[in-house]
Amino acid sequence: MSASALRARSIHSTTSFVFPARSPTVGLTCASAILTTQLSLLGRLYHLEGLSYFERLRALSRERQTLLCVGLDPDPDRIEGGVAGALRHCRAVVRATEEHVCCFKPNSAFWEQYGPDGWKALLELRDEAPATPFLLDAKRGDMDNTMRAYARAVFDTLGMDAATVNPYLGRDSVEQFSAYADRGVYVLCRTSNPGAADLQHLEAEGTPIYRHVVDLAERLNGRGNVGLVIGATAPAQVAEVRKVTGLPFLLPGVGAQGGDVEASVRAAWNGDPASCLVSASRSVLFARDPAAEAAALKAQINAASGVRA
Catalytic residues: 139
Q: Where are the beta strands (DSSP E) in the chain?
A: 68-72, 103-106, 135-140, 162-165, 184-190, 203-204, 207-208, 226-230, 249-254, 276-280
Using CA atoms in the order 26, 29, 35, 36, what is the torsion angle rounded to 10 degrees?
Answer: -160
Cβ-based neighbour number of residue 302 at 10 Å: 17
Please state, in angstroms and rounded to a whole number, the distance separating the CA atoms of residues 44 and 31. 20
Cβ-Cβ contacts under 8 Å for 167 (sequence gap 6 or more): 141, 173, 174, 187, 188, 213, 216, 217
What totals of helices (H) and strands (E) does the chain contain, helices first?
A: 14, 10
Which residues are registered as beta bridge partners of 226? Answer: 185
